[in-house]
Amino acid sequence: MLPLVQQLEFGFTDGQKREADEASGEGFTSGADVCETFSSIEPQVLKSGFDRGLTAQCAESLLCLGLDGVAAVVEVQWNSRMRTTAGRAFWPDARIELNPKLEQLAPDEVQRTLLHELAHLVAYARAGRKRISAHGVEWQLACAQLGIPGERATHSLPLPGRTMARKWRYECPACGEGFDRVRRLKRWAGCYACCKQHNGGYYHRKFRLLESQLDVD
Q: Is residue 122 located within the same domain as residue 180? A: no
Q: Is residue 65 located within the same domain as residue 128? A: yes
DSSP state of 39: T
The stretches in the chain having pLDDT less than 50 are 1-41, 45-48
Residue 135 lies in a domain: yes
Q: Is residue 101 located within the same domain as residue 200? A: no
- End residue of a domain, out of 99, 114, 145: 145
CA 62 vs. chain centroid, Å, equals 19
Q: How many domains does the chain have?
A: 2
Report helix, strand or coil for 93: coil
Q: Is residue 123 located within the same domain as residue 204? A: no
User: Does residue 43 contact residue 53 with C-beta atoms inside 8 Å?
Assistant: yes
The CA angle 125-114-156, to the nearest 5 degrees, is: 115
Residue 2 lies in a domain: no
Report whether the peptide linkage leading into residue 43 is cis, meaning its omega lies within 30 degrees of zero: no
Return d(Cα 184, Cα 167) in angstroms, integer. Answer: 8
pLDDT for the residue numbered 40: 42
Q: Is residue 105 located within the same domain as residue 141? A: yes
DSSP state of 209: P
User: Does residue 126 contact residue 139 with C-beta atoms inside 8 Å?
Assistant: no
Q: Is residue 117 located within the same domain as residue 190? A: no
The CA angle 34-40-42, to the nearest 5 degrees, is: 130
* Sign, CA torsion 125/126/127/128: positive
User: Whole domain around residue 177: which residue ranges?
Assistant: 168-213
Q: Is residue 140 located within the same domain as residue 176? A: no
Which of 144, 153, 142 shows the shortest CA–CA distance to 70?
142
Specify burial of residue 8 (Cβ count, 10 A radius: 0-12, 13-18, 19+).
buried
Return d(Cα 114, Cα 42) in angstroms, integer. Answer: 13
**What is the reported pTM?**
0.56
pLDDT for the residue numbered 159: 61
CATH number of the domain encompassing residue 68: 3.30.2010.10
pLDDT for the residue numbered 103: 83
